[in-house]
């Protein structure tokens, strides 16, 4: 018989999502009235270990959990990420000429707090790219600079940043910290059965090794297995492959040519005829993979494209030694994310594709929502579930719109890209926005929730990075606006001179660490 | 520029070191590194501040003499420096400690050796303390320097252990010194850290006891007391303008 207060939270699953949940919940026991936290890890189920990119939100998340940035970076092979660069997304690549690219940096455009600067850039679009004009961070990316110096403290920044990390090592660090420092109860056991009470709430899970484990709130972090949300409650997955139809990936880990090779501080996404290739620089290796659609590409074809890409980045790379992993996924999200006393977090809730690295941030956002209004009594669950589900639906739809934006603006001509541009494959909400943005620039009112996943700034970076400019009357530039543009260039010059390279700072952190203050 | 070489009793047998303190001997410096065992003596006449070492980013402690590069407000009108306590990092000049790898039966061993800065204005052949005795033995002065260098080495080894509990207890906070020039221009000197007194006052008896037993509590109070020397330095700066 379940109690009516929420005293015991059970997390199923031991990947990044499971341990992030355990860490974030246990570190904020003041919000859960000291509820006990147990994480059940299924033995012999390898975690997927994708999701090597985070958003800047991860800095606050790690701080809240109580892990120092120095420890995190040392133990997770982590490096700094300042945004994404999209290579070849606008036009077909021609042999020997494939240098078209644009950035989506993490820093907001200059003056963003008070001013939409985008319309003032339109008249300059032929001389300077949007992101170079409005974000000095773009120059830092160009020069493989770190977003801070060794005199900055843990988590403090000069330019906004997130991380590239080794997802397996990340889960291990969170595991150790949660168990040793935050009193999370770690149980390794197969979950054989899920037991409902008379109201259909989960009262316990039956495990092979440790018998029955009772709890009040269950968090399903079991990935695409969805052992509670899917197998037990059979909440359907709303597939999205009619909009975003990438459903396969092949991935590989590539060593650096030598210990002097620059560590790139952005995720590089290079368009292919049947998908795109991610390239992520960790401290000791790169993580590279091709995500594609099985309707347009074979596994072998994807592997060939991946290998040929790798050779363009390093001609003497011995690709015969590399192990290529194959991944399958169904793009989609749940009809409900919170049902009764069960909440799906991570891949069990949904996954679309790795573009813009939205997987880990959705874990963070979901947990922050849960904790900000944590149910102390079971009677509060239905209303909180309703709100949580509405919020998550909104977010997934916004993610889909934003990811889709990257494809619909392209002029690439292969069948895959043509299929992406079909009207029937584009959400109405995006079509409506695109119609509006033919005449004006995305701005705050277009996305007015307090916790939007992607802001108007992100839309501007993609639209104008892909040179999708509106019909707009030429605007006279007030002195204040000119000042923003010149300040940005000066700031770029100043920070370029001051900041070490990504690799230099990572080496320094290995040797000396950063200070907590 | 510095010209550091390994000290030896053949090439350097005739050298003397002028141990006077003053501007022309290289003492026009705005700060010097100090260690917790020196705090009690230093706080009587100079502010003690923490900062991050420009190269390593690790915390270190400084005795402050001025607010701008090469500004030593404690020099008198003739440019002489008279300090009631001379920090070890000044006493050691123009010597410094170096490391040498020696092989003992093929196994590398690090040993500490004395280096000398041949470009120091203190070095000459006429005036001051002889480094070596007539037949090549160490002078008392050199023995004293060796002791100073040894102490500095062990103190710098022990320094992370001093900052570690302070950082863990959130006892360190950033601060900057603001002052007004005579021409009304406001100047801010940043990058300093000191003890957060509110945090210190809210420590539990057990935490305080731990700090006391490790000997750090006294050092902490000396840092706080030394901040009273900042207005003293500022008034000297005003007097010079």
Whether A425 contacts A296, CB under 8 Å: no
Closest residue of chain B to A150, computed from CA coordinates: B57
Name the average pLDDT for chain B. Answer: 93
Among A150, A499, A504, the strongest candidate for a mutation testing the B interface, having the largest count of B CBs within 10 A, is A150
Whether B237 contacts B73, CB under 8 Å: yes
Would you give the DSSP letter of residue A356? G
Cα–Cα dist A430/B39, whole Å = 65
Quick check: B174 and A151 CB within 8 A?
no
Measured in degrees and rounded to the nearest 5, phi and psi for residue B21 equal: -115, 130
Quick check: A517 and B193 CB within 8 A?
yes
Q: Tell me what percent of the residues of chain A surpass a pLDDT of 70.
A: 97
Give me the catalytic one of A63, A81, A97, A493.
A81
Which residues of B fall within a CB distance of 8 Å from A150? 56-57
pLDDT of res. A489: 97
CATH for A177: 3.50.50.60
Closest residue of chain B to A507, computed from CA coordinates: B56
Average pLDDT over residues A452-474: 93
Is A517 touching B (CB cutoff 8 A)? yes
Let me know if residue A27 belongs to a domain.
yes
pLDDT confidence tier of residue A472, bands split at 50, 70 and 90 = confident
Average pLDDT over residues B181-200: 93
Q: Which of B56, B58, B174 is nearest residue A517 as measured by Cβ atoms?
A: B174
pLDDT confidence tier of residue A48, bands split at 50, 70 and 90 = low
Cα–Cα dist A332/A437, whole Å = 27
Closest residue of chain B to A66, computed from CA coordinates: B168
Quick check: B57 and A151 CB within 8 A?
yes
Q: What is the ipTM of this complex?
A: 0.84
A356 marked among binding-site residues: yes
Let me know if residue A178 belongs to a domain.
yes
Beta-carbon contacts below 8 Å between A and B: 24
- Residue A437 CB contacts under 8 Å (≥ 6 apart), including other chains: A459, A463, A468, A470
Let me know if residue A134 belongs to a domain.
no
Cα–Cα dist A13/A192, whole Å = 14
Domains in chain A, number = 1
Pairing assessment for the beta strands A285-292 and B172-180 based on DSSP bridges: unpaired
Among the residue ranges A3-7, A137-141, A458-462, B49-53, the one predicted with the least confidence is A3-7
Average pLDDT over residues A285-313: 96
Average pLDDT over residues B100-128: 89
Tell me if residue A63 is catalytic.
no
Let me know if residue A197 belongs to a domain.
yes
Task: Compute the nearest-CA separation of B61 from chain A (Å).
Answer: 15
Give per-residue pLDDT as tens, A73-112: 999 999 999 999 999 999 997 654 557 999 999 999 999 9
Would you give the DSSP letter of residue A432? H
Let me know if residue A127 belongs to a domain.
no
Which residues of A fall within a CB distance of 8 Å from B174? 517
3-class DSSP state of A343: strand
Let me know if residue A176 belongs to a domain.
yes
Which residues of B fall within a CB distance of 8 Å from A515? 52, 57-59, 167
pLDDT of res. B214: 92
pLDDT of res. B190: 92
Among the residue ranges A38-52, A480-494, B22-36, B145-159, the one predicted with the least confidence is A38-52
pLDDT of res. A10: 98
- Tokens representing A501 are 């390279």
Among B53, B54, B57, B193, the strongest candidate for a mutation testing the A interface, having the largest count of A CBs within 10 A, is B57
Is A236 touching B (CB cutoff 8 A)? no
Closest residue of chain B to A511, computed from CA coordinates: B56
Quick check: A151 and B52 CB within 8 A?
yes
Average pLDDT over residues A252-276: 95
Quick check: A151 and B193 CB within 8 A?
no
Write out the residue range of the structural domain in which residue B98 sits: 4-240
pLDDT confidence tier of residue B98, bands split at 50, 70 and 90 = confident
Average pLDDT over residues A290-296: 98
Let me know if residue A282 belongs to a domain.
no
pLDDT of res. B7: 93
Average pLDDT over residues A245-260: 94
Quick check: A512 and B56 CB within 8 A?
yes
In the predicted structure, residue A47 carries a pLDDT above the cut 70: no
Closest residue of chain B to A510, computed from CA coordinates: B56
Cα–Cα dist A495/A501, whole Å = 11
Tell me the residue length of chain B: 241
Average pLDDT over residues A402-426: 96
pLDDT of res. A1: 43
Task: Compute the nearest-CA separation of A509 from chain B (Å).
Answer: 10
Which residues of B fall within a CB distance of 8 Å from A151? 52, 54, 57, 191
Domains in chain B, number = 1
Quick check: B57 and A512 CB within 8 A?
yes
pLDDT of res. A401: 97
Torsional class of B152: left (φ above 0), alpha (ψ -120 to 50), beta (otherwise): alpha
């Amino acid at each position: 018989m379940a109690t009516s207060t929420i005293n015991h939270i059970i997390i199923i699953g031991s990947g990044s999502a499971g341990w992030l949940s355990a860490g974030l919940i246990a570190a904020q026991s003041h919000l859960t009235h000291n509820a006990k936290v147990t994480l059940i890890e299924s033995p012999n189920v390898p975690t997927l270990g994708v999701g090597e990119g985070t958003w800047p939100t991860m800095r606050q998340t790690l701080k809240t959990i109580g892990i120092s940035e120095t420890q995190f970076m040392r133990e997770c092979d982590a490096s700094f990420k300042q945004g994404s660069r999209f290579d070849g997304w606008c036009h077909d690549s021609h042999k020997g000429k494939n240098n078209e690219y644009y950035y989506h940096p993490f820093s907001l455009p200059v003056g963003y707090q008070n001013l939409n600067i985008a319309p003032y850039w339109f008249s300059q679009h032929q001389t300077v790219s949007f992101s170079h004009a409005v974000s000095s961070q773009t120059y830092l990316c160009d020069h493989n600079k770190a977003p801070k110096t060794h005199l900055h403290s843990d988590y403090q920044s000069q330019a906004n940043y997130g991380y590239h990390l080794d997802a397996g090592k990340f889960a291990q660090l969170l595991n150790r910290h949660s168990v040793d420092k935050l009193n999370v109860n770690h149980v390794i056991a197969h979950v054989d059965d899920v037991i409902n009470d008379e109201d259909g709430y989960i009262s316990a899970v039956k495990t092979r090794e440790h018998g029955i484990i009772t709890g009040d709130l269950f968090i399903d972090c079991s990935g695409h297995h969805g052992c509670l949300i899917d197998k037990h409650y059979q909440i359907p997955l709303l597939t999205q492959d009619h909009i975003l139809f990438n459903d396969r990936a092949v991935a590989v880990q590539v060593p650096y040519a030598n210990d002097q090779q620059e560590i790139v501080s952005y995720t590089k996404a290079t368009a292919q005829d049947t998908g795109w290739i991610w390239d992520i620089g960790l401290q000791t290796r790169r993580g590279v993979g091709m995500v594609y659609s099985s309707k347009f590409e074979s596994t072998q074809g994807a592997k060939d494209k991946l290998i040929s890409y790798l050779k363009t980045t390093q001609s003497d790379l011995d690709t015969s030694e590399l192990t290529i992993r194959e991944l399958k996924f169904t793009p989609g999200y749940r009809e409900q994310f919170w049902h009764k006393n069960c909440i799906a977090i991570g891949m069990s809730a949904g996954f679309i594709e790795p573009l813009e690295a939205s997987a880990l941030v959705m874990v963070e956002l979901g947990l922050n929502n849960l904790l900000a209004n944590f149910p102390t009594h079971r009677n509060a669950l239905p209303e909180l579930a309703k709100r949580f589900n509405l919020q998550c639906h909104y977010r997934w739809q916004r993610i889909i719109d934003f990811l889709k934006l990257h494809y619909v603006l392209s002029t690439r001509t292969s069948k895959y890209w043509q299929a992406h541009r079909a009207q029937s494959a584009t959400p109405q909400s995006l079509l409506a926005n695109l119609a509006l943005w033919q005449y004006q620039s995305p701005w705050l009112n277009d996305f007015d929730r307090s916790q939007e996943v992607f802001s108007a700034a992100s839309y501007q970076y993609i639209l104008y990075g892909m040179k999708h400019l509106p019909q707009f009357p030429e605007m006279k530039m007030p002195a204040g606006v000119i000042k923003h543009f010149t300040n940005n260039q000066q700031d770029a010059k100043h920070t370029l001179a001051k900041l070490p390279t990504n690799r230099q700072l990572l080496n320094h952190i290995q040797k000396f660490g950063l200070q907590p203050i | 520029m510095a010209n550091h070489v390994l000290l030896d009793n053949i090439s350097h047998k005739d050298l003397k070191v002028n141990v006077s303190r003053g501007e022309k001997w290289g003492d026009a410096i705005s700060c010097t590194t100090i260690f917790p065992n020196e705090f009690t003596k230093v706080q009587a006449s100079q502010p003690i501040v923490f900062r991050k070492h420009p190269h390593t980013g690790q915390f270190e402690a400084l005795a402050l003499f001025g607010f701008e590069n090469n500004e030593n407000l404690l020099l008198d009108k003739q440019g002489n420096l008279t300090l009631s306590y001379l920090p070890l990092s000044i006493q050691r000049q123009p010597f410094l400690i170096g490391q040498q790898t020696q092989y003992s039966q093929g196994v590398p061993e690090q040993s500490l050796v004395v280096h000398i800065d041949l470009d120091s204005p203190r070095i000459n052949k006429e005036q001051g303390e002889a480094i070596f005795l007539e037949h090549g033995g160490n002078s008392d002065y050199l023995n004293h320097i060796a002791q100073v260098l040894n102490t500095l080495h062990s103190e710098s080894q022990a320094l992370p252990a001093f900052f570690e509990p302070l950082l863990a207890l959130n006892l360190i906070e950033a601060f900057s010194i603001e002052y007004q020039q005579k021409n009304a221009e406001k100047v801010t000197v940043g990058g300093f850290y000191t003890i957060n007194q509110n945090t210190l006052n809210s420590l539990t008896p057990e935490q305080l006891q731990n700090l006391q037993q490790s000997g750090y509590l006294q050092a902490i109070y000396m840092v706080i007391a030394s901040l009273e020397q900042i207005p003293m330095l500022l008034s000297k700066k005003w007097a010079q303008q």
